[in-house]
Amino acid sequence: MNENLVNKLPVDYIYIKELHRTVKNNCIQYFKNNIIGDEFDKYKVNLLDKIKSLYNEIIDDNYYAFKEQCEDVLSNLQEEIEKSIDNHKIDSIEQLMTEIKNIESKYATNFPNIPQKKEIWLQYVSKWIESASQILNSYNIKKLKDIEVN
């Protein structure tokens, strides 16, 4: 399993699941073919436990690689959103939400599918909306004050 995943994480969860199934079946077949007598049943549970342990370790590694990739990409996008607000390219909640929907579409397409994908996205979006809303609100208050002064 490790050979197939070296330097490839994060990957789709289904890929890991299918790889796990293939490795498990190959290991079982190998042991059935190479163990003499009735010894297979004695070692089968241990073998399956080790394979399951490896699978769980890879799932965890994949999750952390995914989170790291998200942190890199999505943090940069948050900075770009804030710059767009500063430059008045985004000056309303509606424009912000449109931009976030565009990013979400790219996220759904370009990031591997893992069970926590939606949860991780929602964590970032909630931070973005909160931060951007505060910035937009500050600009709108400043605009109103400028209008009142004039």
Task: Using pLDDT thresholds of 50, 70 and 90, give the confidence band for residue 22.
Answer: very high
| Digit-coded pLDDT (tens) for 97-107 | 999 999 999 99
Q: What is the pTM of this model?
A: 0.81
Task: Using pLDDT thresholds of 50, 70 and 90, give the confidence band for residue 41.
Answer: confident
Q: What's the angle, vertex CA 49, arms to CA 47 and CA 53, rounded to 5?
A: 120
Mean pLDDT of 52-65: 95
| Digit-coded pLDDT (tens) for 82-138 | 899 889 899 888 898 999 999 999 999 999 999 999 999 999 898 888 888 888 888
Mean pLDDT of 32-61: 87
Of 94, 70, 99, which Cα lies nearest the Cα of 84?
A: 99
Cα(144)–Cα(138) distance, integer angstroms: 10
Q: Regarding predicted confidence, which is higher, 76 or 35?
A: 76
Give me the count of residues in the chain. 150
Confidence at residue 133, expressed as pLDDT on a 0 to 100 scale: 84
Mean pLDDT of 24-40: 84
Cα(121)–Cα(108) distance, integer angstroms: 9
What is the average pLDDT value for the chain, to the nearest integer?
89
